[in-house]
Amino acid sequence: MTTLSAIDGLRQRLQQSIIGQETLVDRLLIALLCNGHLLVEGAPGLAKTRAIKELATGIEADYQRIQFTPDLLPADITGTEIYRPADGSFKFQHGPLFNNLVLADEINRAPAKVQSALLEAMAEQQISVGLKTYRLPALFMVMATQNPIEQEGTYPLPEAQLDRFLMHVRIDYPDATRERDILRLVREENTRAANADLAVNADQTVAISGNDTDSEQAGERLSAGLLFSARQEVLNVYMADDVEQYLLRFVTTTRDPASVSPDLARWIAFGASPRGTIALDACARAHAWLNQRDYVSPEDVQAVVHDTLRHRILLSYEAEADAITTDTVIDQLLSYLAVP
Ligand SMILES: Nc1ncnc2c1ncn2[C@@H]1O[C@H](COP(=O)(O)OP(=O)(O)O)[C@@H](O)[C@H]1O
Ligand SMILES: [Mg+2]
C-alpha cells in the first residue's frame, strides 16, 4: 500500500463519520502532513470533537481534550514538578499537552498566560519548566477551537500568536439533507452502543463477541512512520518558479497593498509574516499531494490561501467599520494577482 492510498483510506474513513464537513477533514489531513496546528472556528455541535477523536482512532495516536476555562493555569496544561517527600526529590508530572492529538477546546476562554503556554509548546514542540526542557511527541498536533458567537468574557488571541496556527478554518452548519444523514448515523451508533451494553449485561460470551465486532470495525490504524514518510513526499512535491512567484505575491502584497489597489491599502493595517509564506507553501504542497500530483499548480495555492492567511492579516479600523473581513481582502488578492 502506498502512503497516498493509506492517507486516502483515512480520509474516506473520516468522511464517512464526519458528514458534510469535507473542509474540516481535508484541513486536518493537511495539518498532519505539514506538521502544523489548526484553529477551528465554528458553532458548538459541528463535530469538531468527533473529528479529532475519529482521527485519533484512525492513526496510531493518543488523544486528549483540554477544556480552556478562565481559572486554568499554565501548569495545568504543561505539567509541573511534584515534590516527593519520601526521598525529597522532584518529579515532573507530564501535563495533558504530552499527547499526539490535543483538542484545545474554546481556547479564548483561558487568559493570556495559558494561551501563550500552549502556543509556545506548539511552536517549539517542547515545554520548559524551571531549568528543564521536555520534548513533546514527534507526532504532535493541536486543534484549537473558538466559538464565533460568544465573545463576552473571553480573551481573544493576539494576532502575533494566531500566526502560530498553520491554518484558521471556518466551519458552518450542514444543509438539510446532511443534517438528516447525521441524525440517522448517530441514531444507528446509539442503537449499536445500547445493544452492546445490553449484551454485556446479559451474557459474558456475547460481550466478548461484541468486542470482536468493535475491533473489526475500528480497522487498521495508520502508523506514525507512514505519516512521516508521507510528510517527506509532500516536501518533495515540485514547485515551478512561476508558481512560487505567485505564492510569494499573496504574502508580499499584504505588506504593500497600495501596489495593487487603494481599497486594499485602506483596509490592511499589517500584512502577513514569513510564517504566512511558509504555511502557504506547505499547505499548497500537501493539497497537491492529496490530489495525487507531484507538482504544485496555481489552483493548489488558491485552494488553501484563505485558510492559511485569514488569521495573519490585521485589518484597519476603516475596514472593520465597513464590515470588511480578511476573507474579502483575500478574495481581492485572488482577483488582482495574475495567475501563471
Ligand atoms: N457532520 C457530522 N457528522 C456526524 N455527526 C455529527 C456531525 N455534526 C454533528 N454531529 C454529532 O453531533 C454531536 C455534537 O458533535 P461534537 O463533535 O461534540 O461537536 P463540537 O465538538 O463541534 O461541539 C455529536 O453527537 C456528533 O456525533
Ligand atoms: Mg466539542
Shared-domain flag, residues 29 and 154: yes
The answer, yes or no, to whether residue 127 has pLDDT greater than 60, is yes
How much distance in Å is there from the Cα of 101 to the middle of ligand 2?
14
18 lines ligand 1 (CB under 6 A): yes
Residue 227 lies in a domain: no
Shared-domain flag, residues 131 and 111: yes
CATH number of the domain residue 273 falls in: 1.10.8.80
**Model confidence over 193-234: pLDDT tens digits?**
998 888 888 876 544 544 444 444 456 899 999 999 999 999
Residue 28 lies in a domain: yes
Average pLDDT, rounded, for the chain: 91
* Closest ligand 1 atom to Cα of 48: 22
Q: Which of 109, 49, 102 is nearest to 78 (CA)?
A: 102
* Closest ligand 1 atom to Cα of 21: 1
Paired sense of beta strands 89-94 and 79-84, if any = antiparallel
Shared-domain flag, residues 35 and 164: yes
Ligand nearest to the CA of 105: 2
User: For residue 326, what is the DSSP state?
Assistant: H
Q: Cβ contacts of residue 219 below 8 Å, gap of 6+?
A: 13, 58
| Residue with CA at minimum distance from ligand 1 atom 12 | 45
47 lines ligand 1 (CB under 6 A): yes
- Taking the CA atoms of residue 26, residue 28, residue 29 and residue 33 in that order, the dihedral angle to the nearest 10 degrees is 140
Ligand nearest to the CA of 42: 1
Helix (H) or strand (E) holding 40: strand 38-41
User: For residue 88, what is the DSSP state?
Assistant: T
Give the mean model confidence (pLDDT) for residues 117-135.
90
Instruction: Supply the pLDDT for residue 147.
Output: 86
Count CB neighbours of 47 within 10 A.
21
Crossing angle of the two packed helices 224-235 and 3-17, in degrees rounded to 10: 110
Q: Cβ contacts of residue 201 below 8 Å, gap of 6+?
A: none
Range in 43-47, 295-299, 304-308 the model is least confident about: 43-47
Residue 245 structural domain: 237-336
Q: Are 104 and 142 in contact (CB under 8 A)?
A: yes
148 lines ligand 1 (CB under 6 A): no
Shared-domain flag, residues 70 and 126: yes
Count CB neighbours of 75 within 10 A.
14
**In a mutational test of the pocket of ligand 1, which residue from 46, 169, 180 has the highest number of ligand atoms less than 8 Å from its CB?**
46
CATH number of the domain residue 16 falls in: 3.40.50.300
Range in 88-102, 109-123, 154-168 the model is least confident about: 154-168
**150 or 273: whose pLDDT is higher?**
273
Instruction: Supply the pLDDT for residue 213.
Output: 43
How much distance in Å is there from the Cα of 5 to the middle of ligand 2?
29
Instruction: Supply the pLDDT for residue 23.
Output: 94
Shared-domain flag, residues 49 and 77: yes
Phi/psi region, residue 220 (left: phi>0; alpha: psi -120 to 50; beta: rest), is: beta
Under the banding of pLDDT at 50, 70 and 90, the label for residue 153 is low
Structural domain count, the chain: 3
What percent of the chain is modeled with pLDDT above 90?
79
Give the mean model confidence (pLDDT) for residues 45-61.
94
Give the mean model confidence (pLDDT) for residues 78-86.
90
| Residue with CA at minimum distance from ligand 1 atom 11 | 47
| Residue with CA at minimum distance from ligand 1 atom 14 | 45
Under the banding of pLDDT at 50, 70 and 90, the label for residue 88 is confident
48 lines ligand 1 (CB under 6 A): yes
- d(Cα 157, Cα 330) in Å, to the nearest integer? 21
174 lines ligand 1 (CB under 6 A): yes
Instruction: Supply the pLDDT for residue 258.
Output: 95
- d(Cα 171, Cα 188) in Å, to the nearest integer? 25
How open is the CA angle 78-79-82, to the nearest 5 degrees?
Answer: 160
- d(Cα 288, Cα 307) in Å, to the nearest integer? 15
Q: Are 50 and 143 in contact (CB under 8 A)?
A: no
Instruction: Supply the pLDDT for residue 218.
Output: 55
- Give pTM, 2 decimals: 0.92
Under the banding of pLDDT at 50, 70 and 90, the label for residue 74 is very high
Instruction: Supply the pLDDT for residue 202.
Output: 80
Instruction: Supply the pLDDT for residue 216.
Output: 43
Paired sense of beta strands 268-270 and 314-315, if any = antiparallel
Shared-domain flag, residues 166 and 33: yes
171 lines ligand 1 (CB under 6 A): no
